[in-house]
Amino acid sequence: MIPVLTSVMLDTRRALKDGSFPVRLRLTFQRQRKYYNTSYSLSEAEFFKVQAEKPKGKYKELQIAFQAIEQKAIGIIRNLETFTFEQFEKKYLNTAVKNDVFTAFEQQVTRLVEEGRVGTASSYESASLSLLSFIQKEPLTRNKGLSRAKATEKRENLLKKRKPLAYAAITVDFLMGYEKWMLQHGHSITTIGIYLRALRAIYNNAIAAGEVNADLYPFGKRKYQIPSGRNVKKALTLADIEKIFSYKPATENEGRARDLWIFSYLCNGINVKDIARLKYKQLDQERITFVRAKTERTSRQNIKVITAMRTQEIDEIIERWGNKPAYSEDYVFPLLEPGLSAERERAKIQHATKTINKYIKRVASAVGIEKNISTYTARHSFSTVLKRAGAPIELISESLGHSNLKTTESYLDSFENDVKKQYAARLTAFNMISE
């Protein structure tokens, strides 16, 4: 019989937000490896201390805990007539998942990471930790002045004290209490909505798998409705956009940031991730076509290809900053390199976004724009300028790659005050007629 190798290891493929790494159980069978989450995360230095021959204090306790995890796995493997990962997981995971929301979150995070969706995985991880903080009444974030070491220690203490959270415990009162608690600790309605939509997805998965009675479902009409904060979108006016176009950059960084912001604005509000992924094969003489990375996995049955018309300004930006020579499979802009891991790609895109935002704010300040401008502003400005020009909302929705008109409506900013005054004056135009 081919042996199954087990070990508890530090998974350094992706760091958590606090800089630590998750501790996972690893099984190796017939050259195939699979990883299973634990409730622990440590730095490399801490894990090294746990592995010492005679660890002391908390490291001794952690060593014992890790040995117990491995022994549990070995016991399950020994009792299986024939080993398969599926049979092992039924014994090792399913019971816990049926009774514990946190374990379900961990499995979902693992799946998302394996699919390369590290951004979404990070959001689910934050949601899970936020719920744990609420249950233990220990706010994890919004602790101004708290050092990184102290924040890490606080997070570890939360995880050590974690107990299973049954689906039946997620009631309307529980969710209302969580919302109130989050608001009291400085979190926005938007953040609450993001975290609770993740919890709702976890709950729906459990119902679909037959692990939870649908009668217990706490979301929906006449139950708990997830809040959806609507931020006031501050799109720029055409006059402000013209200032950015006309600005003479003081440095190369300002020039690159200004041009990439303009490229986003002219290309249907394309975001930085999609700019970074854009390849020359997606350009023809008249158009640029792309599928939003944000929707390519969630809309497989109805993938929306976005078309942006090439203009002289777009071509000049590509000529200034694009990779040369323009090979079909090459990225248009030098923001990514081929063969990057999902984690590394995300880090590079985040860095590029941060850099563009830093310098476009300087540009805005230099030309007298007082609004808080960012790459996001380019997308909202694109849609709002089209609206003010009288473009049909259906055209705007298609240009943005939205699946429904309600999403598009949330992007459309209000009209400028001078336009409102013109229409307000018409309300009393009869006075002028009567006179």
What is the per-residue pLDDT across 157-182, written as a single tens digit (0 to 9) for each?
Answer: 777 777 788 888 889 999 999 999 99
Spell out the long-range contacts of 413-417 with Cβ–Cβ below 8 A and sequence spacing 24 or more.
413/232, 413/233, 413/234, 413/235, 413/380, 413/384, 413/387, 414/232, 415/388, 416/237
Q: What pLDDT score was predicted for residue 411?
A: 61
Integer Cα distance of 260 and 11 in angstroms: 36
Average pLDDT over residues 47-52: 91
Percent of the chain with pLDDT strictly greater than 70: 85
Percent of the chain with pLDDT strictly greater than 90: 38
Integer Cα distance of 158 and 16 in angstroms: 15
Integer Cα distance of 251 and 255 in angstroms: 6
Q: What pLDDT score was predicted for residue 364?
A: 95
Is residue 143 predicted with pLDDT exceeding 50?
Answer: no
* 41 SS3 class: strand
pLDDT band per the 50, 70, 90 thresholds, residue 183:
very high
Is residue 433 predicted with pLDDT exceeding 50?
Answer: no
Tell me if 367 sits within 8 A of 258, measured CB to CB. Answer: no
Greatest alpha-carbon pair distance for the chain in Å reads: 102
* pLDDT, the chain, mean: 84
Looking at mean pLDDT, say which of 14-23, 399-408, 412-421 comes out highest.
Answer: 14-23
Lowest mean per-residue pLDDT among 145-154, 165-174, 305-314: 145-154
> For the purposes of burial, counting CB atoms within 10 Å of the CB of 113, is it exposed (0-12), middle (13-18) or buried (19 or more)?
buried
Average pLDDT over residues 220-235: 78
Q: What pLDDT score was predicted for residue 431?
A: 52
Lowest mean per-residue pLDDT among 56-60, 217-221, 352-356, 407-411: 407-411
Average pLDDT over residues 336-345: 89
Q: Does domain 238-420 have CATH number 1.10.443.10?
A: yes
Give the strand order in the sheet containing 21-29.
5-10, 21-29, 32-42
Is residue 230 predicted with pLDDT exceeding 60?
Answer: no
pLDDT per residue over 121-130, tens digit each?
Answer: 888 988 998 9
pLDDT band per the 50, 70, 90 thresholds, residue 142:
very low
Is residue 141 predicted with pLDDT exceeding 60?
Answer: no
Count of beta carbons in the 10 Å neighbourhood of residue 100:
17
Indicate the angle between helix axes 118-136 and 148-160, nearest 10 degrees.
70
Average pLDDT over residues 65-77: 86
Q: What pLDDT score was predicted for residue 107?
A: 84
Integer Cα distance of 289 and 294 in angstroms: 15
Structure tokens at 380: 């909202």
Average pLDDT over residues 22-39: 89
Is the pLDDT higher at 400 or at 179?
179
Look at the chain and count its residues. 435
Q: What pLDDT score was predicted for residue 234?
A: 72
Integer Cα distance of 160 and 147 in angstroms: 20
Q: What pLDDT score was predicted for residue 304?
A: 81
Lowest mean per-residue pLDDT among 208-222, 264-278, 281-295, 393-407: 393-407
Is residue 329 predicted with pLDDT exceeding 90?
Answer: yes
Is residue 152 predicted with pLDDT exceeding 80?
Answer: no
Structure tokens at 147: 């050092």
Domain spans in the chain, listed from the N-terminal domain onward: 5-216, 238-420
Average pLDDT over residues 193-222: 89
